[in-house]
Amino acid sequence: ERFDWITDDPSWEQAYVDRSVRMVKRDRNHPSIIMWSMGNESSFGCNFKSAAKAIKELDSTRLLHYEGDDEAEVTDVYSTMYTRLKRLKEIAESETQSKKPHVMCEYGHAMGNGPGGLKAYQDMYRKYKRLQGGFIWEWYDHGIYTEEGGETYYRYGGNYGDFPTNGNFCIDGLLMPDRTPSPGLLEYKQVIAPIEVTRIEGTEREFQLKNYYDFLTLEQFYMKWAVQAEDKIIQEGCIDHMMAPPHETEKVIVPFIPFQPEVNTDYYLNITVCRKKATNYAEAGHEISKVQFPLSICYNILEERPQGKALNASESEGILTVENDVVTARFHKVFGNLLSVSAEGKEYLSEGPEMTVYRATIDNDMYKKEDWMNKYYIQKSSEQTEYFRYEAAQDKVIVSIGKYFSCYNQSWGFECDFEYTVYSCGQVKVNLHGKAIQNGKLEPAFLPRIGIIMKGNKELQHAVWYGRGPGENYADSKEASIMGVYSSSVDEMGTNYVFPQENGHREEVRWFGIGDGDKTLLCKAEIPLGLNLANYTDDSLENAKHPFQIQRAEDVIIHMDYVQSGLGSNSCGEEQQEEFKVKLQDFTMAFMLQVVPCGEEVKEAKRHYLD
């Protein structure tokens, strides 16, 4: 490979210079242009030196950019693309390399579900003066709208019988093809918010505002605040006398009034910074930043669990049935599974928890997919029953099941101990402890997730949850999502990416429910978990090339994660950071299932019981 083949060949000088000169003459009267770029990904040589000289002779007022000039010999900025964080830090701290300011001409590859890890880049930009930031690749997806066979979708490379092709590598923007903002754009907006709000350590209501604007003072903005009690706002106000000059900080005290907390309720302080006046790009009240801080105010109590009629445990043809007039739980003694949970004769849980480490691969997983699926077979797993026992107590039946989880042909896996407690009041408590096992040496560098998958009755299409939201969020992409109680349809929980892939995840979920308008299957997590709800399986999502090809499942698919790996930007950029990679590890999950009337999910979720 010779990337400088024609770049360093003097016979091409006139073509290089002519191209640059025509660009400057065409666009030099556009005030929006702040730098001239000589090209992209074409190495460096004599012809770029000549082009740079010609540009400067025509326009000496603007900066000159070209990422191929590794030593910034003729350019005014030192530019790189998709530089990893470790290397970026080295550039920032270098004592020997050119002292010219550094710009990333491309980073944060916005392909499919992502990019993740944007905050790490922004933190570095703000820490080091030399790092001037960068440009996300790219603005919008280049899908071509298609109506065919009664379906509408967006085509990409290869959909016209074209070959060779880069496939969906043109679907890599912060906007969908129809200009709908992606979750990635909302995340980016919050990450780069030019007014940063941080709480002063050791306080509840004292905050520091850092003004990152170059020319605006904070007089142009006001700060709304609200005290949130999970699902409702109980106090709110506005502060509009901020003054900090550019690049300075200001201390603000939020004047909320002391209050008596409700039982078993979490409280948060939400702060939103907005523009006072309209501009040519936004209306008055435009939101610059929204952040949330937990409050330490709490009043927690436990209550006695109500008792119902005595439970009956019976066995028939390998099936254990535990039931009374309000609950029926069925277990398979051979396969070691919770088969279903019914209430008053209606089935709500149609398949109980099985462990999984697989997610439908995202574009940013593309370089891991081959190993994950054809070496470690993470999509091909099984659980083997090691023991099954149960015992009846005064108002409950405890079913204990031991399983060994592994993927095909692997030396690593998990010893899983499931404990199900069926209470006479109708609740089913699940405790799962997984112990990581390695009987050899080979294992994935990291896993997509560690969690369980269950199935709910397909009629349960109304979703409600207490966790981060309202939109999808992941471990390395959740700056735009705050804690609260949200509701949605199951279908609306997902994101309809042009190229189907893992989507719709919610982090830090304390409880969730799926209902039919009358009753809700409520799940209360003792340990916060990650949640996906969908009307399709992971396999269907993995196999589809366009959204209309995703086949609807016969059940609501429920993913509950102990932990899920982040998104990263590795379709063309940084991998997930180490802290956002799921390693082979021990884990514990604990949650309670019960059927409650629709509309009473919040009330029931706040009831905590003595064991």
Active site residue ranges: 41, 106
Q: For residue 321, what is the enclosing H or E element?
A: strand 319-323
Question: Residue 331 has which token pair?
Answer: 């277990």
Closest Cα partner for 585 from 558, 559, 561, 607?
A: 561
Instruction: Tell me how far apart the alpha carbons of residues 324 and 427 are, in angstroms, rounded to a whole number.
Output: 12
**Long-range contacts of 254-262, Cβ-Cβ distance < 8 Å, separation of 24 or more:** 254/205, 254/206, 254/207, 254/225, 255/205, 256/205, 256/225, 256/227, 259/227, 259/234, 259/235, 259/297, 260/299, 261/229, 261/297, 261/298, 261/299, 262/229, 262/299, 262/606
Q: Do the beta carbons of residue 198 and residue 208 sit within 8 Å?
A: yes
Pairing of strands 221-229, 462-469: unpaired
Pairing of strands 102-107, 131-136: parallel
| Rounded-to-integer distance, Cα 429 and Cα 331, Å | 14
Best CA proximity match to 510, nearest among 264, 330, 334: 264
Omega before 115 within 30 of 0, i.e. cis: yes
Element (DSSP H or E) covering residue 374: helix 369-374
CA dihedral 532, 533, 537, 543 (to 10 degrees): -60
Rounded Cα–Cα distance for residues 581 and 447 (Å):
7
Phi, psi of 70 (to 5 degrees): -60, -30
3-state SS, residue 421: strand
Q: Is 273 helix (H, G, I), strand (E, B) or coil?
A: strand
Q: What is the C-alpha separation between 83 and 251, in angstroms, rounded? A: 35
Measure the CA–CA gap between 48 and 41, rounded to whole angstroms: 12
Look at the alpha carbons of 525, 531, 537, 542 in this order and tell me if their dihedral is positive or negative.
negative
Q: Is 369 exposed, middle or buried (0-12, 13-18, 19+ CB in 10 A)?
A: middle
Interatomic CA distance for residues 609 and 426, integer angstroms? 13
Nearest Cα to Cα of residue 404 among 420, 387, 419: 387
Q: Which residue has the tokens 């997930």?
A: 576
Distance between CA atoms of residues 386 and 25, nearest Å: 77
From residue 598, alpha-carbon distances to 41, 132, 305, 441, 488 in Å are 58, 51, 21, 50, 13
CA distance 398 to 381: 27
